[in-house]
Structure 1
Amino acid sequence: MKINAAVALKKGEPLVLRELSLDELRSDEVQVRLVATGVCHTDAIVRDQVYPTPLPAVLGHEGAGIVEAVGTSVTSVEVGDHVVLSFPSCGVCSSCLSGYPAYCLDLNALAFGGARTDGSTAFSDEDGSPVSSHFFGQSSFASVSNVAERSVVKISKDVPLDIVGPLGCGIQTGAGAVLNVLEPEAGSSIVIFGTGAVGMSALLAAVLANSTTIIAVDIVDSRLERAMQLGATHTINSKTEDAVERVREITAGGANYAVDTTGNARVFAQMTKSLGTLGHGALVGAAAPGTESPVDIGSLLLTGITISMVIEGDSVPQTFIPKLISLYQAGRFPFDKLVKKYDFADINTAFADSESGETLKPVVVF
């Protein structure tokens, strides 16, 4: 089958739109015609080979579309179903069997390996050469893709497919960090470092959880203004203010909860210092391997704080994503306010606008 895709050809270069061949569906795969897909920071850092996936590659890991065919062993969906695509997992390791598929022991190979476990790729170029596929089990920067069944989440057909893709990664990451890991009680305080799509999703989740002091920290005033519109009670521009000092002032000693969405070593240290006694912080921001943070363990020992490293919001996509959709439909989780749509042909503009901060969550529509 001939399909259209945005291909990462060389490190750091814009994606190139081209026609590829899609191979035969495997028994444990679902063929999905994409309606839309989110553009995520992880796509950018893989394009730039901070996290290496063999190039050329079809990236994309926040897809949404309609099932066109199913493999012979697939039982979770059928032709015509509407689906959101999320991260892959093996389903049989100790983490998967314990209900933590985001910590699948084979996640790195399944998400970033660029091929099926047998080494084959779903895509090939016009000369027959292989193009890396199955990025996060899906490679959603393609008009049609053969997707690992465990990356597929069935959703109701009354939900607009052109906005739900980001639930597969960025939005479930921020929301899940708050709702699944931190679990703030009503009336609590929380500080969120970084107000991109993941941070804003964490903010929406904090509002949902009835936190009454919600502090957004960033260096872009326009994003801080947006955070106030979405439910923040306080904002801090850490370029002009001492974030730790201001958080401790606002919360009378330190926040109950905190989320670092930046993956920045200095910001991570600020998060640990912003927590009050017995506070709980979550790191969700991706950092380059080898990134180290100067954390004062001598002082922090006396606080009893907890720091959690969180992947994909500690979620089980097949149960958590439908819950987020239900909350959205009830008007309690308005994640659509984070989305700006682009034509698929303008995917590189979507990347640029995300990097500049002009757009919180770009979604390209086929």
Structure 2
Amino acid sequence: MKITAAVLRTGSGPFTIEKLDLGSPGPREVLVRVVAAGMCHTDLLSRELPPEFFGGPQVYGHEGSGIVEAVGSDVESVKPGDKVVLSFNSCGSCKSCQRRRYPYCFNFSLYNMSGGRPDGTSAFTDEGGQRVGSHYFGQSSFATHTIAAETSVVKVDASSPIRAMGPLGCGIQTGAGAILNTLAVEAGTSVVITGAGALGLAAVMAAKVAGASTIIAVDRHQSRLDLAKKYGATHTVSGAPADITAAIQSATGGGADYAFDTTGNAAVVRASQAALNVIGTIALAGVGFGDLSVDFLSMISGRTITGVMEGDSIPNEFIPHLARLNADGKFPYHELITEFPLDQINEAEKASASGAVIKPILVMPD
């Protein structure tokens, strides 16, 4: 079938809106009419890689939401007409998947970032017959229609506001899951969240849901800190790393129980780590490309540092949970969203990079 998609043809070039041919779903795949798709920093990682690592034309997008139009012969979890959120893919058979720790699938790169299906095929070709990469995070949802792996498809309630739900598939579930799943923040504890973008603000909301008594948001921009206050932060901090550590220790009376970093900035991570109490834990989700040093003496007392992918979530359980919290007014992530039509994807990218918007979503044409 003919579809419209945003294609990135070079890592340094703009997205182009193109007509593509979309193949048929395989036995364990789902054809989805995409209603909207969130834009996340991970969609833009190719811009940070050397040109020789760019794998060719690709449809990105990994926070899609929409309506099922057709299913493959072996699909059992959804049917045509179902509302769905699209999340990451996993192999289902490795040691991590057997333990239901799907974000840590041993084959994560192959199933999510290889430019196509695990067997090397793609669902998209352009009008000249050239292969265009598909199945980014099992979905490639910067398109009016896409073929998603069944593993990436999460059914949600028929009454759900599907247009705003795509970000639950990655960024929002990562921020919320870091608090509720990875750190398992308890009521009455203290938590530091560094970076008040979409992940960080979702984490602030989740910390409030968890009942944390001290929620400290750290960011360089006062406008972001104001939002953090709105969504549950009890304290806000801005300044140099040494100032951050001192402010956290003061606010917590000697050190935080938990910290969550979304910045990927080693100096900020060290500042948060230094502000933990002796049995505190810090979880890292920010993408950084430098080295991170660890002070042995500060760690052997009982502190913990851990990475977090996709909020340690089981998507078909956690995404509906977040949707219910949102419906109950306890998790208003939808207020972070700014809509752009698909043909303004380059403007959305610039607005996101500049910090002018928190969470852009691309709305597909009818």
Same-fold call, TM cutoff 0.5? yes
The structure-2 alpha-carbon separation of the partners of 1:142 and 1:321, relative to structure 1 and needing over 3 Å to count, comes to: same
Which of the residues 315, 318, 321 maps onto 1:317? 315
Q: Is the 8 A contact 2:191 2:259 kept in 1?
A: yes
The structure-2 alpha-carbon separation of the partners of 1:41 and 1:365, relative to structure 1 and needing over 3 Å to count, comes to: same
Question: Once superposed, what is the RMSD of the aligned Cα atoms?
Answer: 1.4
Q: Is the 8 A contact 1:83 1:153 kept in 2?
A: yes
**Aligned counterpart, 2:353:** 355
- Residue 213 of structure 1 and its aligned partner are, at CA, apart by 0.8
**Aligned counterpart, 1:120:** 121
- Residue 221 of structure 1 and its aligned partner are, at CA, apart by 1.1
- Structure 2 stretches of 5 or more lacking a match? none
**Aligned counterpart, 1:218:** 219
- Residue 118 of structure 1 and its aligned partner are, at CA, apart by 1.8
Q: Give the stretch that moved more between structures: 291-300 or 45-54.
A: 45-54
Q: Is the 8 A contact 1:13 1:48 kept in 2?
A: no
Distance in 2 separating the partners of 1:23 and 1:205: 39
Q: What SS is found at the alignment partner of 1:232? A: coil
* 1:286-301 superposed matches below 5 A: 286-288=287-289, 291-301=290-300
Q: What SS is found at the alignment partner of 2:84? A: strand
Distance in 1 separating the partners of 2:324 and 2:70: 27
Deviations 1:151-178 (A, max 9, x none): 0000012111111000000000000000
- Structure 1 stretches of 5 or more lacking a match? none
- Residue 147 of structure 1 and its aligned partner are, at CA, apart by 0.5
Q: What SS is found at the alignment partner of 1:58? A: coil
**Aligned counterpart, 2:31:** 31
* 1:105-144 superposed matches below 5 A: 105-144=106-145
**Aligned counterpart, 1:203:** 204
**Aligned counterpart, 1:160:** 161
Distance in 2 separating the partners of 1:263 and 1:218: 13
Q: Is the 8 A contact 1:53 1:112 kept in 2?
A: no
**Aligned counterpart, 1:307:** 305
Q: What letter corresponds to residue 340 of structure 1 in structure 2?
A: T
* 1:62-211 superposed matches below 5 A: 62-211=63-212
Distance in 2 separating the partners of 1:108 and 1:307: 23
**Pair 1:282-2:283 in alignment:** yes
Q: What SS is found at the alignment partner of 2:192? A: strand
Q: Give the stretch that moved more between structures: 112-121 or 147-156.
A: 112-121
**Aligned counterpart, 1:4:** 4
Q: What SS is found at the alignment partner of 1:147? A: strand
Q: What letter corresponds to residue 336 of structure 1 in structure 2?
A: H
The structure-2 alpha-carbon separation of the partners of 1:22 and 1:48, relative to structure 1 and needing over 3 Å to count, comes to: farther
- Residue 47 of structure 1 and its aligned partner are, at CA, apart by 4.2
Corresponding residue pairs, total: 363
Distance in 1 separating the partners of 2:98 and 2:71: 24
- Residue 298 of structure 1 and its aligned partner are, at CA, apart by 2.6
Q: Is the 8 A contact 2:241 2:271 kept in 1?
A: no
Q: What SS is found at the alignment partner of 2:147? A: strand
Q: What letter corresponds to residue 34 of structure 1 in structure 2?
A: V
Q: What SS is found at the alignment partner of 1:270? A: helix
The structure-2 alpha-carbon separation of the partners of 1:159 and 1:173, relative to structure 1 and needing over 3 Å to count, comes to: same
Q: Give the stretch that moved more between structures: 338-347 or 170-179.
A: 338-347
Q: Give the stretch that moved more between structures: 33-42 or 332-341.
A: 332-341
Deviations 1:178-220 (A, max 9, x none): 0011112111111100000000001000000111111000111
Runs of 4+ in 1 over 6 A off after TM superposition: none
Distance in 2 separating the partners of 1:224 and 1:327: 23
- Residue 332 of structure 1 and its aligned partner are, at CA, apart by 1.0
Q: Is the 8 A contact 1:9 1:56 kept in 2?
A: yes
Q: Is the 8 A contact 1:203 1:232 kept in 2?
A: yes
TM-score by length of 2: 0.96
The structure-2 alpha-carbon separation of the partners of 1:205 and 1:50, relative to structure 1 and needing over 3 Å to count, comes to: farther
TM-score by length of 1: 0.96
